[in-house]
């Protein structure tokens, strides 16, 4: 077993989980000693965006690493191999597990990025305010507005500005 950090407190429950080829041991503990972070007396607002992952009110831009695009070639190759394998064969099952492993790796990289970024922000600021936006609505095309002076024509609505 690989322990990624020492067990603090008294172990209350143990769960054994299996994700495809990997096994995980999940421990939940009681009486864990608290270790609060030192106060920084700083506060920030976070703007979630399309072109950059996030922007703080201090002006720091956090780029989106785009893990899916980086691993796209390997994933496509694994999916092609899976597609060519015969249904019900052991070879197909192995290739299916390989595709699942590629997806799991991308998901783990995204989770790792989110956790590290959240930790960095929590260490740096005492108060964080995040906007509550629906990104899907930002991607949606703007509705056309009829021009009252020119029937049959439409006003410029900045639709190009909404595309990323």
Q: What is the pLDDT of residue 106?
A: 93
Range of the domain at 25: 1-32
Crossing angle between the packed helical segments 90-124 and 72-84, to the nearest 10 degrees = 160
Domain presence at residue 37: no
Q: DSSP secondary structure string, 128-140?
A: EEE----HHHHHS
Q: What is the pLDDT of residue 101?
A: 92
Our count of domains for the chain comes to 3
**Range name among 29-33, 47-51, 79-83 with the lowest pLDDT average:** 47-51
Q: Is 59 left (phi over 0), alpha (psi -120 to 50) or beta?
A: left
154 and 86 in one domain? no
pLDDT above 70 (res 162)? no
Domain presence at residue 75: yes
What pLDDT band is residue 161 in, cutting at 50, 70 and 90?
Answer: low
Domain presence at residue 2: yes
The phi and psi torsions of 89 (rounded to 5 degrees) equal -85, 160
Average pLDDT over every residue of 8-26: 90
Residue 83, CB half-sphere, CA atoms under 13 Å: how many? 6
The phi and psi torsions of 127 (rounded to 5 degrees) equal -125, 130
pLDDT above 60 (res 73)? yes
66 and 124 in one domain? yes
Q: What is the pLDDT of residue 68?
A: 83
């Amino acid at each position: 077993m690989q322990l990624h950090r020492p067990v603090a407190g008294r172990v209350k429950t143990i769960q054994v989980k299996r994700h495809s080829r990997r096994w995980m041991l999940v421990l939940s503990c009681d009486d864990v000693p608290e270790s609060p972070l030192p106060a920084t007396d700083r506060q920030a607002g976070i703007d979630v965006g399309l072109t950059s992952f996030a922007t703080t009110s201090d002006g720091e831009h956090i780029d989106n690493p785009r893990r899916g695009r980086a691993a796209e070639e390997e994933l496509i190759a694994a999916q092609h191999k899976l597609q060519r394998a015969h249904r019900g064969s052991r070879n197909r099952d192995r290739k299916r597990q390989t595709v699942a492993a590629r997806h799991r790796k991308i998901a783990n990289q995204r989770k790792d990025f989110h956790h590290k970024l959240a930790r960095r922000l929590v260490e740096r600021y005492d108060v964080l305010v995040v906007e509550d936006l629906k990104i899907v609505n930002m991607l949606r095309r703007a509705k056309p507005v009829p021009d009252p002076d020119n029937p049959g024509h439409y006003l410029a609505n900045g639709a190009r500005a909404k595309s990323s």
